[in-house]
Structure 1
Amino acid sequence: MRLKLLLVLCICSFLVNVSLAQSRTQLSDQAKISLLTMAPGDQLHSGFGHTALWIKDPLRRIDVVFNYGVFDFDTPNFYLKFMRGKLDYKLGAGRVGYLIAEARHDERSLIEQELDFTLAEKNAIYDFLLENIKPENRYYKYDFFYDNCATRFRDLFEDVLGDQLEWRREAEGITMRDYLDIYLDDKPWQDFGIDLVLGAPTDKMATKSDEMFLPDLLMYHTDSAFVGNRKLVKQKKFLYEAPAEVETSGFQILPKHITWMLCLLGIFLSVRHFKSKLNDVLFNRILFVITGLVGWIIFFLWFLSDHGATINNWNIIWAMPLNVFFAFMLFKKPAKNWHTLYYGIFGVSCFMLLGFFYVLPQSFHPAVFPIILYFTFKSFNLLYRTKKMNV
């Protein structure tokens, strides 16, 4: 069902795009422009909601929804380009009926805000979108925080309305990462993964403009916006109101449960090794390899991608890429001096990270604390054991 719906949407979008590319009709005074906001969905890619702009003119027989959230899964090297921040998104167009059908299918509320523009402002917006949807103009480099389906319409409103537009709603006074945590509250493992790869820029305090990267926040700010002395929103209503979600209770395994279990298990195995020579090499090798691989992902996103939010990621201190190689040197006899040097530097780094855990310019996921705690303990333990092996 989902595949069929997407196929129909793609075909209709293509037909509408072709029609629009050939049309330069001016809007009449009966035209209306509405901001459409779709609520967050259950999937990660839909978990932050969606924004579109609906232009309807019964006199000119224009009825089209513009949407900056279109991408092509058939793009060569799709996932590599997505990770490197080089994936092209594009402006698409379709019918509002299909957007409503998608909202019903996914049980995501769809809200319309009819905007109070003058005829000249409506035509300026429509002309911009017609020009932007041309094949040579419709593609853009997507950025989750600063250039997405919501920020594109924020910027369009500001360009057309200029200094007359006042965003009167105050900023919430929280960081970009805090917003992600709120939206991913029911997706703890996705939240953990995203926290690991996002660096210090994500912890900047979000301004009014920054907040509008989220469709919901763009809608809220639009509610309170004024153009001169007139409210920007003329009226607001549901095109589809999803049924209320039923809260489910019950125990859920969270990332912090796993990391604390690994920390305590690792310490237990180390103590048992000291008392009974129980071999804990395999456990530590697996842990070093996994954290090393995480470190290489962080390194890739920091230095080899265009994502501005993944630079300056302090997680690389404990998720050291070199852990992958040193995992296979654990307890090798005889231990080289540079083995012990690495364990010493790694241990001191993790110890300092623990000491400044809550005051660093980057916020860490709580599940990271027990990993750093264990690596602090284990590095000095390895330092002692490698020296002992050489005696």
Structure 2
Amino acid sequence: MSDKLQALETALDAFSTVPSLEEMPRRTLADKGIDGPTAAHVIEEVHTPFNLAYLTFTTGSSAFQNIVGVVHSEISGRCAVARTLFEKLGSGPHAKMLVTYPPLANVFAADALRDCGVEWNFLRRSSRDALIVQACQEQPKIILGESSFLRASLEQATKMGLKDEMPKGAILLTAGTPLDQELLPVADGYGYSVHDLYGCQEFGWLTLDGVPLRDDITLAPSPRGDGYREFVVGGLPMGDSFVISKTGHVCNPEGKIITYRRERTYPEYEVVVLATTAHAANTVEKASRTILRIKGRVVKVARDIQTNAPATKLALVPGVPANEVEDFEPIVIEGPVATKLFDDIVQAQTDLQKSAKTDPAWIKGR
């Protein structure tokens, strides 16, 4: 090796501000708060951009499990939802929560759970036996999991003569699939309360027992019929329609959104941005592509979009040719409250554009 090359290598090792692989920051499963086993995944390291708070995946209930990105500007909203949720549960500070499926913690965001002082952990193995053992040993205040799995586990504990060793007065927080109503009498036999939590990886938790947990939720008319409403979060449609009932949710008569009677919306709505608080239409166009890629929602920008508007204005339109939908008037959603989630993602795009790429491999020299 020449002296010049040796000197360059020495200077590179001593003064370079560009990290080696060993020096790169790492976001582990423990950092994300989901360091528990599942039989449905393989652990894979990826390069995650700094503009995302973390990566997660959809549940796969309606398609493949697809990548979801959560931007930093969403985290404060998820923290606020978590505070509201645990206040409604009345679980008290530093409550212990046993999570049966680690990705459910991603719907909260680890920062949200830490903000609420919740102590959470996971099954050592994803099985009913593991749930019974840990519930008896650790005595959690809250058990979070899919309702049929919880029902089967309680029934098994009873058959095994372990009912008296299970936690006293636990809260069963059901999520991930529509509520199995057969859980209710089984839980009642244990003296447990049951709560139905609805949400998704893309947008976080949205309702508890049919009551919204966010201020930016809109119930729009649904193609499913008069008895249904399309669920819209921050201006972005979920693709889910629910029965709205005056008699209320089975877990809370005050909850009018019957989340265990979900139907997929057809035709699904697309979003057209009519007005934005952003200074440039190009910023909204980039944010719209981001929403498609990390949230799976189709957002288009009107050719005559109004920029620098006092509030965002979005229109929901069916994602099919106009001749297939008779006499449809676009559903207009106006901010700032009702479009908060959309605005958060636009803000994330704005923030990204203010910072240059830091990897020199992407910087083109002259």
TM-score by length of 1: 0.25
TM-score by length of 2: 0.26
Give 1 or 2: higher helix fraction: 1
Larger radius of gyration: 1
Give 1 or 2: higher strand fraction: 2
